[in-house]
Every structure is written in structure tokens, then in C-alpha cells.
Amino acid sequence: MMGELGRRTFLRSSAVGAALSCAGVLPAAGQATGPVQVPTVDRLEALVLIDSSQDIFLAPQKVNGVEAQRARGTGGFPRPLHNEWGLSLLLTSERAGEAGGPRTTLLDFGYTPEALLNNMERLGVDPRRIGTLVLSHGHYDHFGGLVGFLRQHREALPPELTLYAGGEDNFCHRYSGAPGQPAQQLADFGVLDRRELSAQRVNVVLADHPTVISDHAFTTGPIPNLGFERVLPGPVVEYVARDGLGCNAQHFAPAELQGRIVRDEHHHEHATCFNLRDRGLVVITSCGHRGALSSIRKAQEVSGVRKLHALVGGFHLGPAPADYIAQTVAELKELNPDVVIPMHCSGLGFVNAMREQMPDRLVLSSTGTRLIFGGT
């Protein structure tokens, strides 16, 4: 796997190196990976704009210094919060006394703009606060709301607006079905149209190296599968561009350029992370197809920070067998996180395994939850 990732990096470096260097990517193209200087923040809030469900009876929690507040009075008559298969998080981080104040990043955009826009309004989100966009990976349930959000709020956003995407395969066409079938026999799972992003004056940075975001967060870059973890079954992908729609073939290895529809290995899915002062890493794996444990270990390698404060997001363990989930939680326990906050595709099996092995570290979340890290 590392050889294949190395080949990919070589193929991409000439095409995207200059853009990555300008964007604050660490390390620069050609440098060895390893610990780099990542930012430290004093406080982080994560507002769950979209998750796959909402539980209006879910009680507030405070676990190991992390507080989960629940939306009250925003989810009822006549306009409830909308839930759909997908994820969107509004991340607000701050450093004490820093000029310019907090930084706000919108991470992923849910399945539809209708749900995203509705929930932003119901939860009182001012789009003028948003300074940066991040896309974790190229699945429709994470980018489906993006273009509609931009059409509604582009003028309220910064004139120089950047979307950090993990890599070129965010723009590949995906389908639901089995590998090797012709596209016409598969169910369409959508494609992110970079022409729409260009029309909305969005600068796209392919953050396929570890990347500092707004001087507060960092992304992991590509995540190798480590240990027992593997990419579990999901959509299939086509590495081709037609009439400006799809992914640029120059970024991919020869084996992927045969015009076939193949398993999606999520080579460029990345995690978004924060280093919280005196507490450790907050690792957000929006879907975690490459493995939640592998994502944590890559964040530790990139940052040089060993302490894991929180694992947050989708862990893509919904389709996993029970023994796989149990092993995941057992190894996660060895990493000694202060809290674990499953969302979206993590699955009930994971929640149950947490209740068996780490009940004192589990924080539940749903649409409208506000998570506070580093509070008093």
C-alpha cells in the first residue's frame, strides 16, 4: 500500500505542488513525512448541522471536559431540523487573545442543500462567520449540499474562499453497485462538479499532503490502512473525465486508467484535526473509510502529538461484522481517548461495543448537538 501511495504522490506532485505550497501544506512536495509544526488552539466548538438522526430526548452530557449541549426549541413546529444520511459540522476554534478572533470552518455539507440551509437558519448560524470550507471525501452525502449552499450564501462568504479537498478523486464519478459493471447498469451516486465551484469563485486546494487550515486546524493527508483495518464495501468509482465533469486522469496510477469502474479505496480521504492545548488531538473522521484507528495514527504521526483527546465523526462501521467492531473498540481503548463521539455511519454496533468496553468515554450526538472542547 505504501508503494502505491508513493506512486500516486509522484504522479500528482508536478500538477499540484505549486498550489499546495501556496496553501500552507506541510510537508512540501518531496519531503519525508513525519512530525510537523501544527497549530494549537484553546477552545473548539463543533455544531452538528446535519447528522443521520435527531433525538429530541437526548440528555446533555459532560464527559472528561467535553460538553454536549442539545438543541432545544429549534426542532419543532412549524419547521423542524432536517435529518438525512450525511454529515455537516460547523467548527469554531479560538486562541486566547488572538487578533482576528475565532476561526470558523464548514466541514462537509450533507446530502441536500435544503437540509443544510434549513438547519443553519434554525440553529442560528450566520454564514458571514464562515471563513473556510473543507470536504472530507467525494461522496454525495458529504458534498451534496455544497453548491446549493454557495448559491444561497456566496456573497456573505469571504471574497477569497478556499475549499480544501483531500485529492483529485473527490471529483470522480461514483455509483452504487458492483465493480466491473458498465455505468448504465449501476445506480448513479453523483459527482462533484468543479465547474460549479469555479462559477462560485471557489479556490479548490487538493490537500493531499498534511495541510494547515486557517492557522488553527490541520488535515492528515492520505491515510494508509494500518493493522487489521480495511476499506469496507461501499460505492464504486470511475477514474475518468467527460466534458469537464469527473476527475483528471493524470493524477492516477496506470492500473486505474483502464476505463473500468472499480472499488472505491478512498485514497485521498483525509481527517480534519485540532491540537487542543493541554488536552491533545481532536480527530474528526467524517466517514473514516480508511479506518478510524488508521486516521488517528496518521494524525499522531503528522503532528507528533500522541495524546488523543477525542475521536469524532463517522467511523463507517455500520456495515462491519461484530468481531471487526469489537477489535476496533479494543484497539481504540488502548489509545486511551478522553471521549469518543460517533456520528453518521458509525453504526449501532459500534455504539453498543463502546457501551460494553468504554461506557465512561462515550458521548452521543445527533443533529443540532453542540460539542464544546476546552471549555471551563
Q: Which of 101-105, 143-147, 227-231, 339-343 has the lowest mean pLDDT?
A: 227-231
Over the range 142-173, which residues count as b (16 or more CB within 10 Å of their CB) and which as e?
Answer: bbbbbbbbbeebeeebeeebbbbbbbbbbbbb
CB 207 within 8 A of CB 98: no
> Which grid coordinates belong to 16?
499540484
pTM, rounded to two decimals = 0.89
Q: What confidence category does residue 225 fall into, taking pLDDT thresholds of 50, 70 and 90? A: confident
Residue range 143-197, pLDDT digits in tens: 999 999 999 999 999 999 999 999 888 999 999 988 877 778 899 999 999 999 9
Encode pLDDT of 303-357 as tens digits. Answer: 999 999 999 999 999 999 999 999 999 999 999 999 999 999 999 999 999 999 9
Q: Among residues 112, 56, 58, which one has the least CA distance to residue 88?
A: 112
Contacts of 290 (CB under 8 A, 6+ apart): 223, 224, 225, 229, 231, 266, 269
pLDDT digits (tens, 9 = 90+) for 41-89: 999 999 999 999 999 899 999 999 999 999 876 656 778 899 999 999 9
> Mind listing the domains of the chain with CATH numbers?
2-28+35-373 (3.60.15.10)
135: left (phi over 0), alpha (psi -120 to 50) or beta: beta
The strand pair at 132-135 and 161-165 is best described as: parallel
Amino acid type, 296: I
Q: Using omega within 30 degrees of 0 as the cis cutoff, is the peptide bond preceding 27 cis?
A: yes
All three cell numbers of 34: 513525519
Mean per-residue pLDDT over the chain, rounded: 87
Kindly tell me if the per-residue pLDDT of 30 is higher than 50: no
Query: How far are the Cα atoms of 67, 258, 358 from residue 335, in angstroms, in the given order?
Result: 21, 41, 12
pLDDT of residue 16: 33
Distances (CA, A) of 247 to 192, 195, 252, 304: 9, 12, 9, 33
Percent of the chain past pLDDT 70, that is, above it, reads 86
Q: Answer yes or no: is pLDDT of 15 > 50.
A: no
pLDDT score of 282 more than 80:
yes
- Cα 20 to chain centroid distance, Å, stands at 19
